Amino acid sequence: MLDSYEMNLGTAYNQSLPSLGDVIGDVIQFFGCERVYGVGGDFAANLIAAIAPRVAVCPSSNEMHAGFSACAKAEIDGIGFCLTTYMVGSLPCTSAAALAVTEGLPVVFISGAPAETEVAQMAIHHTLHPSTAWKTQYDNALDAFAALGVKVERLQGQRTPGYPNVSGERFYQLVLQAYKTKQPVFIEIPRDQVIQKTQAIKLPISIDAPCICQHVLSGAELVVDAIVTKLASAQYPLLYIGDRLKHNRQLQQLLLNFARKFNIPFATSWFAKGLFDESEPLCLGAYNGIFSQTSGRLYIEEKVDYIIDIASSIVPQDSNIAFATGTHKVETFANKTLLKGGALLEKDLLEILQLLMQRQQKVFNFSAPSAAKSTLNLQDPLDFNNLAQTLNHIQRRISTQLVYLPEVGNSYFASYSLQVRQSSVGRGWLTNPWYGAMGTALPYARVVAQRLQDNGEDERAVVIIGDGGFHFQLNELIHFLKDNTDVTIIYMRNNVFHLGKSGDQAIYHCNDQRFDVAALMRSYQGYAHTVASVAEFISAFKATLSRSGISLLEVPAQPTDERQCHEIRLLNLYIKAKNGHPQAQQEWQALTN
């Protein structure tokens, strides 16, 4: 009987076989990932030992934060990896997996699992097993991730004596699927298989090689004919750019080249904010109907006569179309061409843009609309109503490029009036607008700060966060200290969970007056300073840029309407109207009719 690899396939072949752990490390390196985020555990110990010699296995404060950091890694570097132990480690990552599905992020969630020899009638620790059950359950995590629409698989060991398994090849194919489709995958790996031999794989010569595929969609020439005809009749065209191109730097650059060549202005959706430098003369900012405060809003709503809507989402999401209020003029505009895309790696959109660059002739006369004159009163209290204006004032006067990471909530909505610039990580503003997960700003900022440190440019990660989000994530601060990375945190302190607040119940009070944030910062070897006025904030913020480590500016904010920015005031009014408040309904009707 051929019961060994050597007897069946020869000594040389047997000696050439790598362990599964070796292949996993090689594959992660091949996809250009130098950091994996995770939390250790007994079922993950062999995986950690195998991966650590090749890539940094970065500890996170909890599994959910590990998943969020992997999502941030996918946002800026094209793929992210998260490593946890079985069940108790992987199940907390389901929120991050849901984020990755919704935001279109190639994140590989890796979980250790019991050895194949351990799976029997006995319930194993970490399994979901009611004490009254008559059978053991091992697939709950696989089922949970699958229920979110995630591709799941548990790698398998040898099944035929004398013939090695193909777990290494399966791992590569699953990671490749995530990379190509921009969707997460979940892989359980039995701990005994990590050290077992697997069939060797021959990796492609480059990461682009497996993505070279024949583009089979036809009709691009006809589409371009129609666009060129419409452009010939237009006087004030607009490129409206969605978030589905966020992983495609080639398409982003091609759109920018097209806009510049023919002098066509462009605006992004709210979800695509941060992909382009908003100081670009042709950029009209991020547009979202009545919620927009950019200088380009009136130009879009009153002057534009033709729109090329490119790479926006297949199914519109309420918050990206002015919360379905009917005020999003691009959404309802009649004379437009929709180029949603759909081909793998946006090859259909690339073909159309490349043809347009060749076929379009007419160059347009575009003059940027004048920005509304607004005076920044240095003696005013700093709050959400003037935070973006103040940060824009600072950015125009410093050489340091600021990369904003607003926490979902008031900070997120206030950040839409920021004029963001481009950075070495490809984003000037980064959050998760599709999914809107709270508790992600610091895990995201950790990854951005690491990458900025790697790049060595004059750039700074800037977190904008309120009480609720800050307390969700405090345990992540230890990693800025351990990583020796730099971050400036703008802590908008009003002691309540304010966005959507519809009462004064205890659930909205998420902080305590006695909380001493300066003492907390000192424990992380950081710096904290409380500022009240605009002038104090400008001075203190500039000072943080020369400090290493964590710098926090505490801003005593007031949860009153006059101290809120336009976006927050409108959104709170909208939420109250949707919840049936009669006065809010009347006010909203007056605004939108």
CATH of the domain at 244: 3.40.50.1220
CATH of the domain at 65: 3.40.50.970
> Looking at residues 99-107, what average pLDDT do you find?
97
Could you report the per-residue pLDDT of 384-396, keeping only the tens digit for each?
999 999 999 999 9
Residue 152 or 327, more confident:
152
- Does residue 430 register a pLDDT over 50? yes
The pair of structure tokens assigned to 201 is 């794989």
Q: What integer pLDDT is reported at residue 498 of this predicted model?
A: 57
Residue 361 or 123, more confident:
361
C-alpha span between 37 and 56 (Å, rounded): 8
> Looking at residues 377-382, what average pLDDT do you find?
94
**Of 359, 376, 400, which residue sits at a domain end?**
359
> Looking at residues 74-85, what average pLDDT do you find?
97
- The strand pair at 56-59 and 35-38 is best described as parallel
Could you report the per-residue pLDDT of 338-361, keeping only the tens digit for each?
999 888 889 999 999 999 999 988
Residue 586 falls within a domain, yes or no?
no
Q: What integer pLDDT is reported at residue 358 of this predicted model?
A: 94
Q: What integer pLDDT is reported at residue 1 of this predicted model?
A: 46
Distances (CA, A) of 30 to 38, 230, 276: 19, 45, 28
**For residue 285, which phi and psi values (nearest 5 degrees)?**
85, -170
Residue 469 falls within a domain, yes or no?
yes
- Does residue 317 register a pLDDT over 90? no
* Same domain assignment for residues 162 and 78: yes
> Looking at residues 360-378, what average pLDDT do you find?
86
> Looking at residues 284-297, what average pLDDT do you find?
90
* Same domain assignment for residues 237 and 140: no
Counting the structural domains of the chain, the total is: 3
Could you report the per-residue pLDDT of 507-552, keeping only the tens digit for each?
776 778 898 999 999 999 999 999 999 999 999 999 999 999 999 9
The mean predicted confidence, pLDDT, of the chain is 91
Lowest mean pLDDT among 220-229, 494-503, 541-550: 494-503
* Same domain assignment for residues 150 and 262: no
* Same domain assignment for residues 165 and 237: no
* Same domain assignment for residues 284 and 340: yes
* Same domain assignment for residues 545 and 409: yes
Reported as type and span, the H/E element at residue 36 is strand 35-38
* Same domain assignment for residues 447 and 348: no
**Of 309, 339, 359, which residue sits at a domain end?**
359
Domain residues for the domain of 348 are: 220-359
DSSP structure class, residue 546 = T
**Of 185, 211, 237, which residue sits at a domain end?**
211
C-alpha span between 355 and 350 (Å, rounded): 9
* Same domain assignment for residues 16 and 64: yes
Could you report the per-residue pLDDT of 241-272, keeping only the tens digit for each?
999 999 999 999 999 999 999 999 999 999 99
- Does residue 134 register a pLDDT over 70? no
Lowest mean pLDDT among 37-46, 110-119, 304-313, 394-403: 110-119
Residue 379 falls within a domain, yes or no?
no
CA-nearest of 532, 578, 524, 584 to 551 is 524
* Same domain assignment for residues 505 and 544: yes
* Same domain assignment for residues 419 and 286: no
> Looking at residues 131-141, what average pLDDT do you find?
78
**Number of C-beta neighbours around residue 46 at 10 A:** 21
Residue in the block written with tokens 């809120």: 564
Residue 587 falls within a domain, yes or no?
no
Q: Band of the pLDDT at 121, cuts 50, 70, 90?
A: low
Q: What integer pLDDT is reported at residue 501 of this predicted model?
A: 56
CA-nearest of 351, 344, 307, 312 to 329 is 307
C-alpha span between 125 and 87 (Å, rounded): 9
Residue 342 falls within a domain, yes or no?
yes
Q: Are 239 and 385 in contact (CB under 8 A)?
A: no
Q: What integer pLDDT is reported at residue 497 of this predicted model?
A: 67
Strand partners, 238: 307
Lowest mean pLDDT among 367-371, 473-477, 531-535: 367-371
> Looking at residues 472-489, what average pLDDT do you find?
95
C-alpha span between 525 and 101 (Å, rounded): 37
Long-range contacts of 497-506 (CB under 8 A, 24+ apart): 497/409, 497/466, 497/467, 497/468, 498/409, 498/410, 498/466, 498/559, 499/409, 499/410, 499/413, 499/568, 499/571, 499/572, 500/571, 500/572, 500/575, 501/559, 501/572, 502/575, 502/576, 502/579, 502/581
**Which residues touch 192 (CB under 8 Å, ≥6 apart)?**
46, 115, 116, 117, 118, 157
The pair of structure tokens assigned to 120 is 């029997």
Q: What integer pLDDT is reported at residue 513 of this predicted model?
A: 85
